[in-house]
Amino acid sequence: MPSHQILFRLARRAAALSFLLAGSASVVQAQSAAATVSGFEHSPLLASAYANPFAEMASSSSSSSSSSADIDALTNSAALGRFDLRSSQPPPRRRYGRPNYSDRNTNRDGSPKWTGLIGGGFTLPVGGTHAYATPSWKAQVGFGRNFNKVTAVLLQFDYDKFGMQSATVRRQLNLYNNLCGGNCGFSGLGGNVHDWSFTLNPTFTIPSEGTLGAYVATGLGYYHKVTTFTTPTTSQYCDYYYGYCYTISANQPVDWYTSNAFGANAGLGVTWKFSKFSNQKFYAEARYVWTNNSPRRYDVSGTTPYFNAFPAEAARTTWIPITFGIRF
């Protein structure tokens, strides 16, 4: 661009600056706190006025096609005093709602859609079940759906095992010996009970911001109960190739009973997260389990289609499982 055109543009910008300074003098006096930049005070509009001419000069030096319409508009605006300091203020802050994390594996509130558990512990028979059963061990596994941070439903498999009261075993041994006239050949008798189940378990978590938490669990489903009486047996095994023999001892079932029923459970649990943002957590829970077994009468007469020497098998069953494990 010719030098005389550059000088002409600089002159017009100087005129625009003088109008801006005159128009903003009253505004600068009215403002109590002005921004200090490079050692002198000026309004935000004045700062933009200082910055814009040089920015436009840089663009005009790189391209000769720029128009003087912007300069005329700036000059006219300054001459008429049509400027607004509010135009230099930032726009109002946008308001945001709750974050939405929803996708294939995450709910809208950030909780994972899928959940599971695996654990084990011990069983405590209570009520009428305690009259013939003793505490033993249990195993538990489950998988389900989180609907949000509070509500979940899991399909759960539990295997609960019980021992047998010594008084119950002695009474049953005497019964068998009487039935066979003392010729049963039982050197002793043992027994155990186990109950496996498939249940649907709605779970309600108490909201917590820390690593510790708590929940309420309920369940309803199918329970299969098995009672088995065994007698110890010994046999000798010989390996003729190597030329040695040894004795094997094992408990052989001599009588067993099964019973199917629907049942329910309910209880409380506590959790401890591995970290504040972890989905995996250690849990400990206690529930009360009740199964609605249908009682059968005692009958060893041999005149009916069934033989029942242990009516307690078909009685309603109650116990408290204590379980520890990992939820994820």
Please report the domains of the chain, with CATH numbers, ordered by start residue. Answer: 3-88 (no CATH), 114-327 (2.40.160.20)
| Range of weakest confidence among 12-16, 44-48, 92-96, 249-253 | 44-48
Residues ≥6 apart with Cβ < 8 Å to 190: 164, 169, 229, 230, 231, 232, 251
| Range of weakest confidence among 71-75, 207-211, 281-285, 310-314 | 71-75
Strands 190-206 and 281-291: unpaired
Q: Where are the beta strands (DSSP E) in 8-94?
A: 35-37, 40-42
User: How large is the average pLDDT for residues 59-67?
Assistant: 45
| pTM as predicted | 0.66
Q: Is 192's pLDDT higher than 90? A: yes
Q: Is 57's pLDDT higher than 50? A: no
94 confidence band (pLDDT: 50, 70, 90): low
28 confidence band (pLDDT: 50, 70, 90): very low
Q: Is 63's pLDDT higher than 60? A: no
Cα distance between residue 34 and residue 88, in whole Å = 14
Provide the pLDDT for residue 59: 47
Provide the pLDDT for residue 5: 65
Q: Is 31's pLDDT higher than 60? A: no
SS3 of 145-179: the string is: EECCCCEEEEEEEEEEEEEECHHHHHHHHHHHHHH
User: How large is the average pLDDT for residues 54-73?
Assistant: 47
43 confidence band (pLDDT: 50, 70, 90): very low
What is the tens place of the pLDDT at every residue in 99-108? Answer: 556 678 899 8
Cα distance between residue 312 and residue 171, in whole Å = 13
Tokens 């409380």: give the residue: 268
What is the tens place of the pLDDT at every residue in 234-291? Answer: 777 787 777 778 777 778 899 999 999 999 999 999 999 988 778 899 999 999 999 9
Provide the pLDDT for residue 243: 75
Cα distance between residue 112 and residue 212, in whole Å = 18
What is the tens place of the pLDDT at every residue in 212-224? Answer: 999 999 999 999 9
User: How large is the average pLDDT for residues 123-132?
Assistant: 96
What is the tens place of the pLDDT at every residue in 133-155? Answer: 999 999 999 999 999 999 999 99
Question: 67-84: string of b/e by CB count within 10 Å (b at 16+)?
Answer: eeeebeebbeebeeeebe
Cα distance between residue 45 and residue 34, in whole Å = 11
Find residue 115's DSSP bridge partners: 144
